[in-house]
Amino acid sequence: MEKSATKLKPIVWNSPKIKQAYNKKYKKGKLTFFKISNPEGDLDFLLSEKMLKHRKAAAKLLYKAAKKHYKHCRKTLANVGTTHLQNKEISDLERDLVTAKMLKIQAKEYYKLAKGDYLAIRLKG
């Protein structure tokens, strides 16, 4: 069975920092067609046919935000001995690190599928 971006589960942003990285990019007007339809941040609305050409850009942007946040968490955790972080903050960072890594993988897969769907539709006519 052929994979399709329409059959893919919507990407959910579990980390407020990833959402924040997205919002920062969006507010700069880099991606004017893309907006959050749900405050929780799921990308359900991108699964409609008319939004097909924007799925690639959305997945790419999400990947960049997740990658940036992953890098930040990794650096902060590496320097945990020199910082004055509380145990709760450290556990939050560890959770965010895992979330960002999963989002990176999911966004990459989503991008590949969206790219395939877009090319298939363009070839049809």
Which of the residue ranges 12-16, 56-60, 66-70, 76-80 would you say has the lowest mean pLDDT?
A: 12-16
Mean of the per-residue pLDDT values of the chain? 65
Taking 80 as the threshold, does the pLDDT of residue 102 lie above it? Answer: yes
pLDDT of residue 9: 45
Residue 56 has pLDDT above 60, yes or no: yes
| DSSP state, residue 46 | G
Task: Decide: 42 and 10 in contact? Cβ < 8 Å.
Answer: yes
Instruction: Give the residue from 48, 53, 42, 52 showing the smallest Cα distance to 18.
Output: 42
Residue pair 44/81 in contact by the 8 Å Cβ criterion: no
Domain extents in the chain: 53-125
pTM of the model: 0.53
Flag whether pLDDT at 41 surpasses 50: no
Mean pLDDT of all residues in 74-87:
79
Band of the pLDDT at 62, cuts 50, 70, 90?
confident
Whether 47 has a pLDDT exceeding 60, the answer reads no
- Best CA proximity match to 112, nearest among 22, 1, 8: 8
Q: What is the pLDDT of residue 7?
A: 46
Residue 10 confidence class, pLDDT cut points 50, 70, 90: very low
Query: What is the Cα–Cα distance from 58 to 69, expressed in whole angstroms?
Result: 17
**What is the pLDDT at residue 67?**
84
